């Protein structure tokens, strides 16, 4: 699924083009965001546009506020229908059944937003296909971690979750 297809799919949930673009980026690369990330990436300013967007997210039950510190609200994008429209599956629960925000996820989103000239891979499947099929890299040379035991032991690639993309500049 292309990024533009993801954006269009999110728009069908009732978001504007600008909101859908930001939501697609935030959901795919972090799952969490701060209001300042929305305003910086969309140029919306810090007023009514951002308030309408965040209110809409909460009203549609696509996000929840998980932390507030110094008037900064941390939003967690959790709604299964949102992620289904984006064509990705996201595990957002920690070992205790709680939502677990993390600084690296917010920093990763900051990186993606600051590098709009790059085409980022949304899922590990896209990363794996690029390296193995396009570049011809052997799977054994890719960063991986094994999960399971015995005959159920399987490798997962790019488990660090950090953004990975290609510059579109030549």
In tens digits, the chain (170 residues) has pLDDT values of 888 999 999 999 999 999 999 999 999 888 889 888 999 888 887 688 988 999 999 999 999 988 777 778 889 998 888 998 998 876 544 333 344 556 778 888 888 888 888 888 878 888 889 999 999 999 999 988 899 998 889 988 888 777 888 887 75
Q: What is the pLDDT of residue 107?
A: 83
H/E stretch holding 42 reads helix 35-42
H/E stretch holding 144 reads strand 144-147
CA distances from 66 to 2, 81, 98 (A): 30, 19, 10
Q: Where are the alpha helices (DSSP H) in 79-158?
A: 80-86, 103-114, 124-129
Q: What is the pLDDT of residue 102?
A: 66
Q: What is the pLDDT of residue 98?
A: 43
H/E stretch holding 65 reads strand 63-69
Q: What is the pLDDT of residue 111?
A: 87
In the chain, the domains with their CATH numbers are 3-116 (1.10.10), 124-167 (no CATH)
């Amino acid at each position: 699924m292309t990024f533009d297809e993801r954006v269009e799919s999110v728009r069908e949930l009732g978001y504007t083009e600008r909101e859908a673009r930001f939501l697609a980026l935030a959901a795919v690369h972090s799952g969490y965001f701060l209001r300042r990330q929305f305003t910086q990436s969309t140029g919306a300013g810090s007023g009514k546009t951002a308030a309408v967007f965040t209110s809409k997210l909460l009203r549609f039950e696509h996000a929840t506020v998980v932390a507030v510190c110094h008037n900064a609200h941390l939003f967690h994008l959790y709604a299964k229908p949102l992620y289904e429209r984006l064509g990705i599956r996201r595990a957002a629960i920690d070992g205790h059944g709680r939502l677990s925000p993390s600084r690296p996820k917010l920093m990763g989103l900051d990186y993606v937003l600051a590098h709009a000239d790059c085409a980022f891979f949304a899922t590990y499947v896209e990363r794996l296909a690029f390296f193995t099929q396009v570049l011809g890299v052997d799977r054994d040379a890719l960063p991986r971690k094994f999960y399971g035991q015995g005959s159920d032991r399987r490798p997962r690639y790019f488990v660090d979750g950090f953004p990975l993309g290609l510059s579109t500049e030549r």
